[in-house]
Amino acid sequence: MSWRPQYRSSKFRHVFGKPASKENCYDSVPITHSVHDSHFCAVNPCFIAVVTECSCGGAFFVIPLNQTGKLDPHYPRVCGHRGNVLDIKWNPFNDFEIASCSEDTTIKIWDIPKQLLTRNLTACKKELMGHTRRVGLLEWHPTAANILFSSGYDFKVMVWNLDTKESVIMNPVRTITCHQGTILSMSFNTNGSLLATTCKDRKIRILDPRAGAVLQEANCTEHRANKVLFLGHLNKLLSTGTSRWNNRQLAVWDQDNLSKPLSEVDLDGSSGVLFPFYDVDTNMLYVVGKGDGNIRYYEVSADKPHLSYLTEYRSHSPQKGMGVMPKRGLDVTSCEIFRFYKLITSKGLIEPISMIVPRRSESYQEDIYPPTAGAWPSLTAQEWLRGMNKEPVMVSLRPCSELLSPELLLPERPPSVSTAPSNQTEKVVVEDGRRSFSLPEEKAPRQAAAERRPEEKTARLTNGFDMECPPPKTENELLQMFYRQQEEIRRLRELLTQREVQAKQLELEVKNSRMGSERF
């Protein structure tokens, strides 16, 4: 019997990375030279924020996403810290609110104006003061509104409730003091009921974020973990670090038993920190090395070997940090499933890199865009502090889609939400840069919209060419345009056939009515 290799079928086997063209990059950006292990970049569908060099104190840029090209040397900064900014994170439920932490031991919450900044922003919305040493990491709670976690070099994790009128908050609602060294990373599970951390004491911990109790603990003797994250609903953890031979390594752990890793994958002997990014919707893992030029990606499964290597995106420019666009900001028409924003310090460049599943059709691909977490909290801060847990509010990425989890909406809605009368289609309009969803009670409006959509698309297309897009510049773009033309021709033929059938049916009805009238 001859040996045959076993191939694992996957719809993401041929995913490829597509860097943006020069005119769609952000050029002449003075990116920070800090050696802190952080992303230094945060992205949402409205803005990109990046930590920058500053002569006095710390600062970061907030650039509108569509403002590509060269950055003005006098572009205004967000500068209110007295020390270097170490981490920045956008509020997942408000595209105009961002948190920053610094070496000056403070955390600041900023309101970004909807119009462009015309001068430096120095006045913050809230200031959190509780750490005694510099603050290195920030994490927003994934489902509860106004809950922020911070970790500092004082070996403490602090839980902050921002749902107060105070502009200066001195006391966190909880302080977790179980760590014996500097906290290197924090990660929540999907509903925010568990918090995983890595520490310089070579331990991985799973904590109850409300009580601060240690639920699971792993002594990493052979695998020195640096970063950790939950793998969605697989009940597993992934950590990146180094082996006992100083090789960079990935390790998969059972969430309920951290006695030893389920599997380990050695990568190379480089010294840069590995930053993992996990896509819960597609079960894909992206591994980015600090100082590397490549991005490795794997498919994660519940069964062994747990990590299936797909391929990697390669580049000659080393990355200082990475920003990631939330799923609701992706371009579904080009089958984009992930988007990085690569910081290249040597060139002062921020380069978007799109991860694309090659498909011929430009129609919405339901199989690669399952329901994803939306920009709406499922809990208030007080509900979460009282012990409630809820899954994220799910939305569809299909254009003009509806909210998939209306029962998870908060009972007490803020003033920025307006509700239509009960006899009409209920609409939830979320201001401040959030998505707009509609909850139709009848199917007729949706069907009417579906019938209008082909006509709108026909008006925008001429001979299969999208007049809003630039002409093709490469052979691949020309081939994609050809496939789009064939798809448009096929759709128009189907539409023409339907119209002919309708015309014949109408003609037959008129003929029958005339014959009936002649008899009488």
- Mention every residue, 6+ apart, whose C-beta is less than 8 A from residue 106: 81, 127, 128, 129, 131, 135
Structural contact between residues 159 and 128, judged by C-beta atoms closer than 8 angstroms: no
Using DSSP, state whether 108 is helix, strand or coil. strand
- Whole-number Cα distances in Å, 301 to 170, 281, 359: 44, 12, 23
- Tokens 């979320």 belong to 430
Torsion, Cα of 314, 315, 320, 326 (10° steps): -60
Q: What is the DSSP letter of 31?
A: B
Closest to 117 (Cα-Cα) out of 69, 39, 60, 70: 60
Domains in the chain (CATH in brackets) are 16-372 (2.130.10.10)
pLDDT at position 489? 85
pLDDT at position 108? 96
Enter the tokens of residue 496: 């023409």
- Tokens 């995106």 belong to 313
Q: What is the DSSP letter of 144?
A: B
Structural contact between residues 96 and 110, judged by C-beta atoms closer than 8 angstroms: no
Q: How far apart are CA 429 and CA 221, in angstroms?
A: 51
Long-range contact pairs involving 167-174 (C-beta distance under 8 Å, separation at least 24): 167/125, 167/126, 167/127, 168/126, 168/127, 168/129, 169/126, 169/127, 169/128, 169/129, 169/130, 170/129, 170/130, 171/130, 172/128, 172/130, 173/385, 174/209, 174/210, 174/211, 174/212
Compute the Cα dihedral for 160, 166, 170, 171 and give only its sign: negative
pLDDT at position 471? 61
pLDDT at position 59? 93
Enter the tokens of residue 423: 């006899």
- Whole-number Cα distances in Å, 490 to 364, 493, 494: 16, 5, 6
pLDDT at position 117? 85
Q: How far apart are CA 264 and CA 252, in angstroms?
A: 7
Q: What is the DSSP letter of 317?
A: S
Closest to 250 (Cα-Cα) out of 236, 259, 332: 236
User: How confident is the chain (520 residues) per 10-residue block, as mean pLDDT?
Assistant: 56 92 94 92 95 86 94 92 94 96 95 88 94 95 96 95 93 94 95 95 93 89 90 94 91 92 91 94 95 94 90 93 94 93 94 93 86 93 94 88 52 39 37 39 40 40 44 65 77 84 84 74
Q: How far apart are CA 246 and CA 252, in angstroms?
A: 18
